[in-house]
């Protein structure tokens, strides 16, 4: 309720991450002569840096339902802690989460709470793993904001291709799934990514085949079909065009496949 307020003039030794589910909260500056306040609402991540003075609570007349976690950032997380700054509040950054990621982040916070309560060594690592995923999702969104955010329909298509590159895709089918005409979908996809839908599918399949050639003991023909190519000859042509050598030559020169155990 709106009686909830916390003030820590020296901050904490930990970083502090909030994710609002519903209602409204405030983050207030404690700097002398520099008043400032940030209001947070549903679907927003707010990060307090370690040792930054803290003053936060529920907006009067409202409720504030949120997840929170104190944590010591691992060294390789430092680049992930630079979300857009909250105007006027020292040490605070805020990021409205894409609607497509809200459910994922809610589930990740639930996993953090569960694993932290269990408290074993493995569960502690799982909790940190979930927290890192949240920070990575936030970083991905921050990166697109500073460059060019992908249309959500294009992003869904890219994620679908990456999830199952071998699936037999068609532009009309993919367009229908995101509520666009085939021509509009194809134009939007190329406009946003610089590549056609078909080129993206082929590139994703080739990348999958490259990994399998490097790490798998499967035959070249098995790899071709498992990556989604309809024939070995088509796979060989596409692979040679991209990598400048045949799949077999690539495996001989670069890869160290794991031999299958019979």
Mean predicted lDDT score pLDDT of the chain? 88
Once rounded to an integer, what is the mean pLDDT over residues 191-215? Answer: 89
pTM here?
A: 0.64
**Each residue of 4-39: pLDDT tens digit?**
999 999 999 999 999 999 999 999 988 765 568 899
Strands (DSSP E) along 41-174, which ranges?
Answer: 44-48, 54-58, 64-71, 92-96
**CA atoms of 88 and 7, how far apart (whole Å):** 17
- The answer on pLDDT for 258 being more than 50 is no
Distances (CA, A) of 130 to 68, 141, 181, 260: 13, 17, 37, 34
pLDDT the model gives residue 30: 84
- The answer on pLDDT for 50 being more than 70 is yes
Parallel/antiparallel/unpaired status of strands 25-28 and 37-40:
antiparallel
Phi, psi of 154 (to 5 degrees): -70, -40
Question: Which has more pLDDT, 174 or 86?
Answer: 174
Q: How many CB atoms lie within 10 A of CB 238?
A: 18
**Each residue of 97-118: pLDDT tens digit?**
988 889 999 999 999 999 999 9
**CA atoms of 83 and 96, how far apart (whole Å):** 10
**CA atoms of 212 and 208, how far apart (whole Å):** 6
141-173: string of b/e by CB count within 10 Å (b at 16+)? bbeeeeeeebbebbbebbeebeeebeeebebee
pLDDT the model gives residue 32: 64
Once rounded to an integer, what is the mean pLDDT over residues 77-81? Answer: 90
Give the count of alpha carbons within 13 A of 88, CB side only.
12
pLDDT the model gives residue 199: 92
Residue 45 · residue 98 · CB < 8 Å = no
Nearest-10 Cα torsion for 17, 18, 19, 25:
-160
């Amino acid at each position: 309720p709106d009686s909830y307020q916390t003030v820590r003039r020296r901050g904490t030794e930990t970083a502090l991450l909030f994710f609002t589910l519903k209602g409204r909260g405030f983050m207030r500056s404690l700097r002398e002569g520099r008043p400032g306040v940030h209001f947070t609402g549903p679907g927003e991540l707010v990060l307090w840096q370690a040792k930054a003075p803290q003053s936060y609570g529920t907006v009067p007349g409202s409720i504030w339902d949120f997840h929170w976690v104190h944590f010591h950032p691992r060294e390789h997380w430092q680049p992930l802690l630079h979300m857009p700054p909250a105007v006027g509040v020292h040490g605070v950054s805020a990021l409205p989460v894409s609607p497509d990621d809200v459910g994922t982040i809610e589930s990740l916070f639930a996993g953090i709470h569960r694993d932290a309560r269990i408290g074993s060594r493995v569960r502690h690592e799982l909790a940190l793993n979930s927290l890192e995923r949240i920070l990575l999702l936030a970083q991905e969104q921050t990166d697109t904001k500073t460059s060019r955010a992908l249309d959500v329909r294009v992003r869904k298509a890219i994620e679908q291709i990456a999830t199952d590159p071998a699936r037999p895709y068609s532009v009309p089918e993919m367009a229908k799934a995101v509520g666009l005409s085939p021509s509009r979908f194809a134009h939007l996809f190329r406009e946003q990514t610089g590549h056609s839908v078909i080129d993206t599918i082929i590139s994703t399949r080739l990348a999958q085949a490259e990994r399998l050639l490097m790490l798998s003991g499967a035959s070249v023909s098995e790899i071709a079909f498992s990556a989604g190519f309809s024939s070995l000859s088509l796979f060989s042509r596409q692979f040679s065009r991209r990598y400048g050598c045949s799949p077999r030559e690539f495996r001989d020169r670069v890869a160290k496949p794991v031999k299958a155990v019979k």
